[in-house]
Amino acid sequence: MTQVVPSTTIVIPTIGRPSLRTLLEALAGGSRTVDVPVLVVDDRPRADESLEGSLADLAAALPGLRVLQSGGGGPARARNLGWRHARTEWVSFLDDDVVPDDDWYEALQGDLALLGGTVAGSAGLLRVPLPRGRRPTDWERSTAGLETATWITADMSYRRAALVGVGGFDERFPRAFREDADLGLRISTTQGDIVRGVRRVTHPARPADDWASVRQQKGNADDFLMRRLHGRDWRRRVQAPTGRRARHVAVVVAAAAGALGLLSGRRRIAAAAGAAWLGGTAELAWARIAPGPRDRDELRRMVLTSVAIPFAASWHSARGAWQHRHARPWQGAADLVLFDRDGTLVHDVPYNGDPALVEPVADARTALDRLRRAGIRVGVVTNQSAVGSGRITREQMEAVNQRVDELLGPFDVWQVCPHAADAGCGCRKPAPGLVKEACHLVGVPPESCVVVGDIGSDVDAAAAAGAEAILVPTGSTRRAEVESAPRLAETLSEAVDRILERVR
């Protein structure tokens, strides 16, 4: 019996590191041809050189290679853009600084093929090669910790449906730190199990400057977002080390007390506090120096950064505690936006059966293209009672729809109710039939769908189906419909702004 291999899309966020090319060349030269989409998401705010041009020579070996632009915002936003553009059952994430084994793609297919329906994620194995002939530096040991990290997205595959179910990565994590653990917690508690596969990648310890460990302390702010979202025991749940935050705070307090003692002339207090600060700093420095190579450069680096780290860690902890004090669970963007046709996408011509009379509203094309660039699928749900009442033929209706598609498409789904207003069908808005069927055909749960329309029946159909709704009033919209609408927008562009606000 032939084993069915689930389809996947490989998503690689990048900030333009040279290692990206090494990764892609490893995929291209592997033991098995990578015949699935490979989406590279360029997350540089401003790129001096287009990645499409620099990677053009790899197109023959990786025919599914495509570059998307996220324009900055961090790896969480870049990964979200990547998976939203995926149309496969699975999405496989790689970081741009890993090197897949020669059989990585073959092993990935084997990993995914073995998974049952209750499994939502599959983690690869990661190795960090350490130098031979000497002890690793503090930075190299820190990188080596990735080997045992939980749910690290350096090599992680998730069912696309699971990503939709939790809204993807939380983009309030602006750096490559904790965003993977947060996603793993949300998926494992609501969508299914996360298991470990057998595929492997190598993560080299890339070079770092003297102050890299100080900049790393920004991650303390993310720890407080984790605490707000997942409770005080989140570290135990993701198997993260407890860290040294309490010691860092004690060192900072001692330094502050020493400074105040000097300023106020209380020399004994200043001396005691200064000794405590010096002792705490020395303890931190030695804890980092002892396992390392202890050469001159490492000693200098450890002493300097050990003075700075408690202050940086405490500052970012305080900043994170304040910034995230009211954080709410992440929702993410809709995966599907359904538009009413007449009065919303095109100007309303009553009982129109003539394609020549189709005229899009002013901002329809721009609004739709913004959603498409974000990887959000779009569709149309429309009542066409003129067919059921005999005013126009089904062929005329289809010709009008085809013209709408020519001017504003392509759309991922069309759903039309051709029945007369008094037919009592379950599809005519405000009934939920059109919305539910559109979601079913695209494979999106209604709660991940937004319906945009111009009258109350559009809003009511969305509510009945379990979707969200945005009303864009026109001259045909009654005042009562405006007053009762859960969300309003003056234009289609403003409606799209509101939809995309959830991913910013």
Q: Is residue 1 part of a domain?
A: no
Q: What is the pLDDT of residues 90-103, one digit of tens each?
A: 999 999 999 999 99
* pLDDT band, residue 243 (cuts 50/70/90): confident
Residue 501, pLDDT score: 82
Q: What is the pLDDT of residues 355-408, one digit of tens each?
A: 999 999 999 999 999 999 999 999 999 999 999 999 999 999 999 999 999 999
Query: Is a pLDDT exceeding 80 seen at residue 4?
Result: no
How much is the average pLDDT of 128-150?
Answer: 93
Q: Are 68 and 11 in contact (CB under 8 A)?
A: no
Residue 503, pLDDT score: 53
* pLDDT band, residue 478 (cuts 50/70/90): very high
- Choose one of 264, 295, 328: the last residue of a domain: 328
262 and 193 together in one domain:
no
Q: Distance (Å, rounded) from C-alpha 76 to C-alpha 73?
A: 8
- Choose one of 311, 328, 345: the last residue of a domain: 328
174 and 214 together in one domain:
no
Residue 502, pLDDT score: 66
179 and 256 together in one domain:
no
Q: Is residue 41 part of a domain?
A: yes
Question: Which residues form the domain of 248?
Answer: 209-328
Q: Is residue 476 part of a domain?
A: yes
Q: Is residue 359 part of a domain?
A: yes
To the nearest whole number, what is the mean pLDDT of the chain? 94
Query: Is a pLDDT exceeding 90 seen at residue 242?
Result: no
Query: Is a pLDDT exceeding 80 seen at residue 466?
Result: yes
254 and 191 together in one domain:
no
224 and 301 together in one domain:
yes
Residue 5, pLDDT score: 64
**119-127 sheet: strands from edge to edge:** 65-69, 38-42, 8-14, 90-94, 155-159, 119-127, 193-202, 99-100
Angle at the Cα of 308 from the Cα atoms of 142 and 178, rounded to 5 degrees: 40
Q: Distance (Å, rounded) from C-alpha 25 to C-alpha 30?
A: 8
16 and 159 together in one domain:
yes
Q: Is residue 2 part of a domain?
A: no
Q: Distance (Å, rounded) from C-alpha 109 to C-alpha 99?
A: 17
Q: Is residue 217 part of a domain?
A: yes
- Choose one of 304, 328, 352: the last residue of a domain: 328
**449-453 sheet: strands from edge to edge:** 413-417, 377-383, 336-339, 449-453, 468-471
How much is the average pLDDT of 417-438?
Answer: 95
Query: Is a pLDDT exceeding 90 seen at residue 46?
Result: no
344 and 383 together in one domain:
yes
* Range scoring the smallest mean pLDDT among 39-48, 130-139, 335-344, 471-480: 39-48
Query: Is a pLDDT exceeding 90 seen at residue 429?
Result: yes
* pLDDT band, residue 54 (cuts 50/70/90): confident
369 is catalytic: no
Q: Distance (Å, rounded) from C-alpha 249 to C-alpha 314?
A: 6
Q: What is the pLDDT of residues 264-277, one digit of tens each?
A: 999 999 999 999 99
Residue 206, pLDDT score: 87
357 and 461 together in one domain:
yes
Residue 45, pLDDT score: 87
The pTM score is 0.92
Tell me which of 111, 223, 342, 454 is the catalytic residue.
Answer: 342
> Which backbone phi and psi does 12 adopt, to 5 degrees?
-130, 105
How much is the average pLDDT of 139-165?
Answer: 94
* pLDDT band, residue 410 (cuts 50/70/90): very high
479 and 386 together in one domain:
yes
Q: Is residue 371 part of a domain?
A: yes
For 455, which DSSP code?
A: S
67 and 148 together in one domain:
yes
102 is catalytic: no
177 and 160 together in one domain:
yes
Q: Is residue 468 part of a domain?
A: yes
Return the sign of the alpha-carbon dihedral for residues 233, 235, 241, 243: negative
What is the number of structural domains in the chain?
Answer: 3
Residue whose C-alpha is closest to residue 431's, from 415, 410, 447: 415
CATH number for the domain harbouring residue 106: 3.90.550.10
15 and 108 together in one domain:
yes
How much is the average pLDDT of 160-189?
Answer: 95
How much is the average pLDDT of 147-167?
Answer: 95
CATH number for the domain harbouring residue 452: 3.40.50.1000
More confident residue, 467 or 51: 467
Paired residues of 416 in beta bridges: 382
Tell me which of 155, 222, 340, 460 is the catalytic residue.
Answer: 340
Residue whose C-alpha is closest to residue 212's, from 269, 288, 153: 288
* pLDDT band, residue 1 (cuts 50/70/90): very low
Residue 110: is it exposed, middle or buried by C-beta count within 10 angstroms (0-12/13-18/19+)?
middle
